[in-house]
Amino acid sequence: MTRLDLNTVLGWITPGSRVLDLGCGDGAFLARLRDERDTSGVGVDIDPDNLIASVSKGLDVIQEDINDGLHCFSTNGFDVVVLAHALQELTHPHIALQRMVDIGNEAVVSFPNFGHWLCRLHLGLKGRMPMSRAMPRQWYDTPNIHFCTVKDFESLCSELDINIIERATIAGPAQRLLGRWLPNLFASSAIYRIRRAGT
């Protein structure tokens, strides 16, 4: 099944862009960017199996832990840096965001919104961390270590002098308008285009 956040990200990438895909996984999205948007790209992942899968697709990939600061990449080395549904898995997400807007002219970030009303309801009624299709693992077995809401992310961007260029939200069919108007409550995921303030 195609992830809706990746469809939005794809639409935001200008054809011919130089793209850095952080946490690229098996390279499927990076290959899609290459094939559908004519991008030149580099993927970053830490898992050896993902690296092998990416290389088998003819992609350039680097094995690196995003948490180590991405020091092998120079300032303004890419047009766009993408971090799709991995922000909440990072040890220091604020440092990663700062590096992303330094490395790229702009960055695109997507994440699950833990402020969604179903998460709140589940926690309020059951007193246990929620599980869903987007978050299918138990709290002790999840890669998510920093739970983030739409408001949290926007506040962090403000603190880090990062400008939000554009925001899109993912919500259920009956809640699409509410997801746009009240994203912290009704968006299940959020996608942002951001860049360093003053650029």
Q: What is the pLDDT of residues 67-105, one digit of tens each?
A: 998 999 999 999 999 999 999 999 999 999 999 999 999
Q: Is residue 119 part of a domain?
A: no
pLDDT, residue 2, reads 54
Q: Is residue 171 in some structural domain?
A: yes
Residue 132 forms part of a structural domain: no
Going by C-beta distance under 8 Å and a sequence separation of 6 or more, which residues neighbour residue 133? Answer: none
For the whole prediction, is pTM greater than 0.75?
yes
Give strand pairing partners of 163. Answer: 195
Is 68 a member of any domain?
yes
Beta bridge partners of 109: 83, 192
Query: What pLDDT is recorded for position 178?
Result: 74
- Owning domain of residue 51: 4-114+142-196
Handedness of CA 161, 77, 170, 49 (dihedral sign): negative
3-state secondary structure of 181: helix
d(C-alpha 146, C-alpha 52), whole Å: 28
Two structure tokens written together for 60: 């350039």
**What number of helices (H) and strands (E) belong to the chain?**
8, 7
- Would you mind telling me the total number of residues written for the chain in this entry? 199
CA dist 14 to 10, 40, 97, 120, Å?
9, 11, 21, 37
User: Does residue 134 sit within a domain?
Assistant: no
Torsion angle (degrees, nearest 10) of CA 152, 154, 155, 158: 160
Q: Is residue 21 part of a domain?
A: yes
User: Cα 83 to chain center, whole Å?
Assistant: 4
Q: Is residue 175 part of a domain?
A: yes
CB-based contact 79:17 (threshold 8 Å): yes
Q: Are 135 and 145 in contact (CB under 8 A)?
A: no
Angle (nearest 5°) at CA 190 between 51 and 39: 45
If one counts the domains in the chain, the total is 1
Question: Tell me, what CATH number does 40's domain have?
Answer: 3.40.50.150
- Residue 36 belongs to some domain of the structure: yes
Confidence of residue 1 (pLDDT cuts 50, 70, 90): very low
Q: What is the pLDDT of residues 93-140, one digit of tens each?
A: 999 999 999 999 999 999 999 998 888 888 888 888 777 766 777 778
